[in-house]
Chain A
Amino acid sequence: MEQILARAEKVAKEAEVFEVSSEETQVRFESNRLKQMQTNQSTSIALRIIKDGRVGYATAAGTADGQQLVKDAVETAAFGSEAKFKLPGDTRYPKVDIYDSAVQAVPIKEMVDLGEAMVATVTGHTPGIMCDAIVSRSVMTVRLINSRGGQAEYKKSFFGLDIEGNLIQDTDMLFVGESENSCHPLSDTKKVTDIVLKQLELAKNRAKSPTKVLPVVFTPNGVASALIMPLLSAFNGKIVYEGASPIGNKTGQKIFDKNFSLRDDPLVAFRPASRPCDDEGVASQRTLLINKGIVRGFLYDLQTAALAGKKSTGNGNRGRGSLPAPAPSALVVTPGKTTFDEMVQDIKEGLVIEQLMGAGQGNILGGDFSGNVLLGYKIENGKIVGRVKDTMVSGNVYKILKDIAAIGSETRWVGGFLQTPPFYCKGLSVSSKG
């Protein structure tokens, strides 16, 4: 890395080298049986330069030829976007615990046992169900150095449990599933399987949904699959800067329900999305996005912040080896006071949505979403009576979140990037074949 930086500094005013290395082990179960053991080793390196005021960029995965990397970066710098930002110099980073050496020490045998325990619990509950399960552990090392003396290095451990089940009866297919992850080793599979068993219980009976406007309770998984995507774009500093975010000019205004607060939080100990700094070496911080319904902030990387006249919020993210761009680390919704059971009890006729399929396909920028209820239940007179199918719901996130019936008290991590309680929403348009 140091050699590449030195070589780049000879031809460019500023340079930055970013390296990620990871080692991962997976134990995979297919159709209720142990099927595959997998290891993945990977190293990739990215060089960003500022030459004649413009950004040049090149990456290499695997064996990197430093000379070629610098040459490619220089070629792209001739056309690159104008660099409005300065790379961060020597920075003090917050301390955030994200590495547990016990993860690497978990024996394969124990990972197999965890997978078998998950599969046995689910198949024991529902005969005929077919389960796929993954138990994985990994360690990732991130290093960054730049020509202004900035340097960052951290190590992160990851342990994940994942189970999916499908139950087929004639041409009826039911999909259930849950996952959990942490920077600590996980040894209790019950938390994951309890949720799957509950899904199976609730889906046992079938119910019909009418075609009309109904109140809907989104479980944490439901919130992730239906409501979060539009907000991800709306709070992205780049979309705000472009003028395409519907709330970009609404800072300080009350756009959402007074009980809704949302922040980006990369500082929660031992969460896989946490980190001491972002992928540009800017220190991590908590960023308030919505406070009691009022828009409070947006997420920025260095370049977007400089263009918009703001400060980077430490959200420069290099997805898939591309240049840093604003992205959340982990979104956290402040819990409310109502339990899930109380929400259900309050509804005379409505739906619970656990998984909505295809909600990301709509007009996300405008907040419109529409999706097929992959896993959801009908509520009648305060009780869940069974699973609904062949049902679509649609709505607009801004309209729905402006006036929420209740935000739940029980919060859960979903997919590693979102911690949320259930949302009880007043009226969504439901279309169904019954």
Chain B
Amino acid sequence: MPDIDAVAQSLAAELKNRKSDYTEARFEESQTSHIVYRGKVMESIGRSTASGGNVRALVKGGWGFTSFNDFAKLPDRVSLAVEQARSAGTGKSNLAPIESAVDNIPSGVSQDPVTIPLADKKRLLDEYNEIIWSIPQIKTSNINYSDSRKKVVFLNSEGSYITQERADVALRLTAIAAKDSEVQQVGLSIGSRGDFKAIKGLHQKIKEMSQNAVALLTAPQAKGGEYTVVLDPILAGVFVHEAFGHLSESDFVYENDRMQEIMVLGRQFGVEQLNIVDSAAEPGLRGSYKYDDEGTPSVKTYLIREGKLVGRLHSRETAAKMNEKPTGNARAINYRYPPIVRMTNTYIEPGSISFEEMISDIKEGIYAKNWYGGMTSMEMFTFSAGEAYMIRKGKIAEAIRPIMLTGNVFNTLKNIDAIGNDLDMNQGGGCGKGGQMPLPVSNGSPHIRIQRCLVGGK
């Protein structure tokens, strides 16, 4: 491994001496290991190392960015980035001021998950796979395990020099049941900030997951149309991420006048009980950090408070252009990309209603649990459940095929009419935007109820 501290230090003076409005550099080194099962056999087990860096420069509002994993001739790379910025820039540079920081943030885990012997990891996964296969009618299974340890050194022409380390563990299991030409699957995703223990002891959950996949083979499909839908905390977390979170990322707003009119602070988006937060500042979650990839300290940002739009997510550039405070949401998935505005840990704050109360007055509706995926186009969004049940006369009734829900942010948020008291964060997610995927994030919510939600089906 190249010594990225030495590389970074050698460049500190270089960055300040350039004729640009702003210059920064980011260096990374990481180790990962992965284990993949397809069916009964382990398909892939491997270890990887990576190192690389980038330089980004700003001149007259234009950016130059160069990434590399060959550390030779670094001053030339800096020159290239500055030159590129100069040929792109025609206006005025505008970055929200932040205090420069010199800091060193360790990963906080007692044991680096990458260093745990592969034999130990394999033993646990073998147990899980055996449970999946012990259920009759399971045709095949997928298990994807990965862990990583990463160190990032950030420095800029304003004197910041920040070293941050993090570790991640991610596990996704899928049980696939088949009978005749019917194929159904149910998945489970678990993640943690480097704590391997988080993926231990899942035996019972995995058994239930596999049984659910088999049960779906005979479950009927919902009829397409509008329903009263209750979402469990996992799916509601995906919902808040897709339905509203992406809209609050201001890189889509800051140079778009019409978008600014829509996203005007104070606009009523939902009921008074609705509060939505994004916060990298809460420790220990997948989307947590102390500084973002521009060296801005993270904060807790209310996006919606009492149903009204009160904030949005910023980089230094979007904050300056919109005359708001930077929120520390500029993130890059790795050194090959410049930072863009991203979510971190996004959640709906808990209300006061219990799950039983929430479903008690629903004559016919759908209880949708667990996630399969989600996507947004800002205005319209879709997200899919991993499991679903009919609600009849206030009670959970028969299982139905997993459903896809769709909505329009300007209507659907207003149609949330009950917010539960049972906030739970899902740590298994990864988010994609601008080709940068999967970025570690977490989503959360209590149970929520949505009126008139459009469900795809027969």
Residues of chain A touching chain B, judged by Cβ–Cβ distance below 8 Å, are 27, 30-31, 33-44, 57-65, 68, 72-73, 75-76, 78-81, 108, 112, 128, 130, 166, 168-173, 175, 211, 238, 242-244, 246, 321-323, 357-358, 360-363, 365-366, 368, 370-372, 374, 389-390, 392-394, 429-433
Any A CB within 8 A of the CB of B12: no
Taking the closest CB of chain B, its distance from the CB of A372, in whole angstroms, is 4
Q: Would A172 and B379 count as touching, CB distance under 8 A?
A: yes
**Known interface pairs A238-B38, A361-B382, A431-B457. Does A75 touch B47 (Cβ–Cβ under 8 Å)?**
yes
Q: State A172–B258 Cα separation when bound (angstroms).
A: 10
Find chain A residues with CB under 8 A from B256 CB. 31, 130, 166, 168
Residues of B with C-beta under 8 A to A368? 401
Question: What A residues does B62 contact at CB under 8 A?
Answer: 34-37
Q: Complex Cα distance A393/B455, Å?
A: 10
Chain A, Cβ-Cβ closest to B254: A31
Give the 5 A-B CB pairs with smallest separation, nearest first: A62-B69, A358-B382, A431-B224, A361-B373, A37-B84
Provide the bound-state CA to CA distance between A394 and B224, in Å.
9
Q: Which of B16-24, B176-184, B201-209, B305-313 contacts A (4 or more CB under 8 A)?
A: B176-184
Question: Among B49, B65, B183, B381, which residue has its beta carbon within 8 angstroms of that of A246?
Answer: B183
Given contacts A31-B255, A368-B401, A371-B456, 17 further A-B contacts (CB under 8 A): A35-B88, A36-B338, A37-B88, A41-B67, A42-B52, A61-B50, A62-B52, A65-B49, A244-B139, A357-B381, A358-B384, A361-B375, A363-B184, A372-B382, A374-B377, A394-B457, A433-B226
Please count how many residues in chain B sit with their CB below 8 Å of the partner chain's CB atoms: 80
Chosen A-B contacts, 14 in total, with CB atoms closer than 8 Å, are: A35-B62, A38-B84, A42-B52, A60-B48, A61-B50, A62-B49, A73-B47, A79-B118, A81-B42, A128-B258, A362-B404, A389-B380, A429-B224, A431-B456
Q: Is A211 within 8 A of B225, CB to CB? A: yes
B63 touches A370 (CB 8 A): no
Known A-B contacts A60-B49, A79-B122; A42 and B380 likewise in contact (beta carbons under 8 Å): no
B456 x A365 contact (CB < 8 A): no
Decide if B374 is an interface residue (CB 8 Å cutoff): yes
Tell whether, in the assembled complex, residue A390 and residue B408 are in contact, meaning their CB atoms are under 8 Å apart. yes
Given contacts A173-B378, A358-B382, contact A61 B457 (CB under 8 A): no
A198 to B373, CA, bound (A): 31
A65 and B31 CA atoms in complex are apart in Å by 13
Q: Is the CB of B404 within 8 A of A244?
A: no
Residues A34 and B90 in contact, CB atoms below 8 Å apart: yes
B377 interface neighbour in A58, A78, A170, A173, Cβ under 8 Å: A173
Q: Judge if B420 is at the interface, Cβ distance under 8 Å.
A: no
Contact A80 B45 (CB under 8 A): yes
Nearest CB in chain B: distance from A362 CB, A: 6
Write the B66-79 contact mask toward A (1 if CB under 8 angstroms, else 0). 11111100000000
In the complex, the answer to whether B384 meets A43 with C-beta atoms within 8 Å is no
Q: Once bound together, how far apart are the Cα atoms of A366 and B87, in whole Å?
A: 51
B39: Cβ under 8 A from any A Cβ: yes
A429: chain B residues within 8 A (beta carbon): 224, 456-458
Contacts of A65 in B (CB 8 A): 1, 49
Chain A residues with Cβ under 8 A from B455's Cβ? 392, 431
Neighbouring A residues of B45 by C-beta, 8 Å: 57, 76, 79-81
- The smallest C-beta distance from A109 to any residue of chain B, in angstroms, reads 9
Assuming the A-B contacts A36-B63, A62-B70, A79-B45, are A363 and B185 also in contact, with contact meaning beta carbons closer than 8 angstroms in the complex?
yes
Determine if A37 and B119 form an interchain contact, defined as CB atoms under 8 angstroms apart.
no
Other-chain contact of A37, B41, B87, B255, B456 (Cβ < 8 Å): B87
Chain A, Cβ-Cβ closest to B379 = A173
CA distance A35 to B84 in the complex (A): 10
B406 at interface by CB-CB < 8 Å: yes
Give chain A residues whose Cβ lies under 8 Å from the Cβ of B88.
27, 34-37
**Closest-CB distance, A37 to chain B (whole angstroms):** 4
B residues neighboring A (CB under 8 Å) = 1-2, 34, 36, 38-39, 41-52, 62-71, 80, 84-85, 87-88, 90, 118-119, 122, 139-140, 176, 178, 181-185, 224-226, 255-256, 258-259, 262, 336, 338, 372-384, 401-402, 404, 406, 408, 410, 454-458
CB–CB B46/A372 < 8 A:
no
Is the pair A392, B262 in contact by a Cβ cutoff of 8 Å?
Answer: no
Q: Is the CB of B224 within 8 A of A360?
A: no
Q: Assess the B456–A394 pair: CB atoms within 8 A.
A: yes
| Given A35-B62, A358-B406, A433-B454, A322 contacting B46 (CB threshold 8 A) | yes
Nearest Cβ in chain A — how far from B333, in angstroms?
12
Whether the pair B262, A358 counts as a contact (CB closer than 8 A) is no
Q: Is the CB of B178 within 8 A of A363?
A: no
Question: Given A35-B88, A40-B66, A79 and B44 touching (CB < 8 A)?
Answer: no
Cα A209 to Cα B231 in complex, Å, equals 27
Question: In whole angstroms, how far apart are the Cα atoms of A244 and B225 in the complex?
Answer: 31
Contact of B48 with A59 in the complex, beta carbons under 8 Å: yes
A249 CA to B256 CA, complexed, in Å: 53
A390→B457 CA distance, assembly (Å): 15
Assess whether B379 is in contact with A36, with CB atoms less than 8 Å apart: no
| Cα distance A270–B226 in the bound complex, in angstroms | 48
Q: How far is the CA of A60 from the CA of B2 in the complex (A)?
A: 12
Distance in Å from the Cβ of B269 to the closest Cβ of chain A? 11
Q: Verify B373–A360 contact, CB threshold 8 A.
A: yes
Question: Nearest-CB distance from B7 to chain A (Å)?
Answer: 10
Q: How far is the CB of B80 from chain A (nearest CB, A)?
A: 7
Q: Given the known A-B contacts A35-B62, A36-B64, A36-B88, are A81 and B454 also in contact in the complex, defined by CB atoms under 8 Å?
A: no
Q: How far is the CB of A171 from chain B (nearest CB, A)?
A: 5
Q: Which residues of A contact B380 (CB under 8 A)?
A: 173, 357, 372, 374, 389-390
A374: chain B residues within 8 A (beta carbon)? 377, 380
Which among B36, B181, B404 is the interface contact of A361 at CB below 8 angstroms?
A: B404
Residues on the B chain within 8 Å of A33, using CB: 90
Residues of B within 8 A of A175 (CB): 377
Cβ–Cβ contact B39 & A242, under 8 A: yes
B262 / chain A contacts, CB cutoff of 8 Å: 168, 170-171
Contact A81 B41 (CB under 8 A): yes
Given contacts A40-B67, A76-B46, A363-B402, is CB(A392)–CB(B379) below 8 Å? no
Q: With A39-B84, A244-B140, A360-B373 in contact, is A59–B46 under 8 Å at CB?
A: yes
Given A168-B259, A246-B183, A35 contacting B456 (CB threshold 8 A) = no
In whole angstroms, what is the CA distance A360 to B373 when docked? 8
B394 to chain A, nearest CB (A): 25
A68 CA to B338 CA, complexed, in Å:
29
Q: Name the distance in Å between A346's Cβ and chain B's nearest Cβ.
A: 25
Q: Are A41 and B68 in contact, CB atoms less than 8 angstroms apart?
A: yes
With a CB–CB cut-off of 8 A, which chain B residues contact A57? 44-47
List of B residues within 8 angstroms of A68 by Cβ? 49
Instruction: Find A169's partner among B84, B258, B373 (CB 8 Å cutoff).
Output: B258
Chain B residues whose C-beta falls within 8 Å of the C-beta of A130 in the assembled complex = 255-256, 258
Residues on A with beta carbons closer than 8 Å to the beta carbon of B224: 211, 392, 394, 429-431
- Kindly list chain B residues whose C-beta atoms are within 8 Å of the C-beta of A172: 379
Please indicate the chain A residues that have their CB under 8 angstroms from the CB of B80 in the complex. 39
Contacts of B66 in A (CB 8 A): 38-41
| Chain A residues with CB under 8 A of B178 | 243-244
Name the distance in Å between B156's Cβ and chain A's nearest Cβ. Answer: 17
Residue of B nearest to A356 (CB): B382
Q: In the assembled complex, which residues on chain A have CB atoms less than 8 Å from the CB atom of B375?
A: 357-358, 361
